[in-house]
Amino acid sequence: MNFKNVTVAGSGVLGSQIAFQTAFQGFKVTVYDLNDEVLAKAKAKFSELSECYKSDVNATQEQLDNTFNNLSYCSNLAEAVKDADLLIEAVPENVDIKNEFYKQLSQVAPAKTVFATNSSTLLPSQFAEVTGRPEKFLALHFANRIWDKNVAEIMGHSGTDQAVFDEVIEFSKAIGMLAFPLYKEQSGHLLNTMTWPMVLSAAELWAKDVSDPIHMDKMWMKVMGAEFGPFAIMDIVGLNTTYNIAKAYADFNPSMNLVLEKLDAEMLNQDRLGIQNGEGFYQYPNPVWEAADFLK
Ligand code: NAD
């Protein structure tokens, strides 16, 4: 493994998890974000994450102390990347923001640094030119709750160097992930491409009043042996994000307009946003789908 120093750009939902997991596995991680105020929020997120690591992966205090020692913080991009072997970009899912970020990054990063984007829907080929180093650029995509859902999807564009691709696969394994290489570019990678048609089909049945969330989640969990069903997934992802994904599908599936109308009227306008604010299709904490007798 040639990578030692990793910089994570963007310390939001996923960036904070990627930084913490990477530091937990022994790498030196610099967390970069817009200003010191946002970085202070990242530190608070790391404290919350350390509680999850204690309860979910039995992390010891020594491991957590080492994790915090491996983390440093910086709001100056040139300074944040000066020693980076790998930079993982987790800035907002917005083409203009990512373009501007890579433009600035290309001017200050050392030649050795590999750039990886955690974008869920945008393709590496969209940014390859602006990175200034297309052969050292690819996607490295993680799932939310990285310490528990430890999967990494590695996806190059046509100009990505195979040796760089292989090195990033090795890196993802070194930070405790199961690695899933993609053989060609695919918006949504593997996981989201497989998941969303199922989730939105359930949403369509709900929007057409054919069935209700509890029955559909129960059926999915029972038959597929899954931990949760499509409506719980929407609550976990958040109903604003779900709305945006359904909107993208509406371009080629007009039934999605019914889903958009009902999501808007019954969820978003009622301030039911999912787990993040305690109410979505279910009430949180302790939603009924988590109860021991849900499948009885
Ligand atoms: P978020 O909004 O929670 O966090 C984005 C962070 O980027 C914020 O801390 C913000 O201050 C920072 N930021 C904004 N502009 C910046 C810039 N120019 N330079 C550095 N930092 C900047 O977003 P998120 O949900 O963590 O998503 C980030 C990326 O990860 C997106 O590309 C998204 O598609 C992807 N992703 C998200 C999830 C998820 O479940 N949230 C899952 C997988 C992948």
Structure tokens at 191: 């996981």
pTM: 0.92
Structure tokens at 247: 């909107």
**What pLDDT shows up at residue 30?**
98
**What pLDDT shows up at residue 1?**
83
Q: Per-block average pLDDT, block size 10, for the chain (296 residues)? A: 95 95 98 97 96 97 98 98 98 94 98 97 96 98 96 98 98 98 96 96 98 98 97 94 92 95 98 94 97 96
Strands across the sheet containing 151-155:
71-74, 28-32, 5-9, 86-89, 114-117, 137-142, 151-155, 178-181
93 ligand 1 Cβ < 6 A: yes
**What pLDDT shows up at residue 292?**
94
Nearest C-alpha to atom 25 of ligand 1 is from which residue?
13
Q: Is the Cα torsion angle 203, 207, 208, 213 positive or negative in sign?
A: positive
**What pLDDT shows up at residue 220?**
98
**What pLDDT shows up at residue 65?**
98
Grouping H, G, I as helix, E, B as strand and the rest as coil, residue 250 is helix
Beta bridge partners of 181: 154
191 ligand 1 Cβ < 6 A: no
* DSSP state for residue 280 in the 8-state scheme: S
Q: Is 247 exposed, middle or buried (0-12, 13-18, 19+ CB in 10 A)?
A: middle
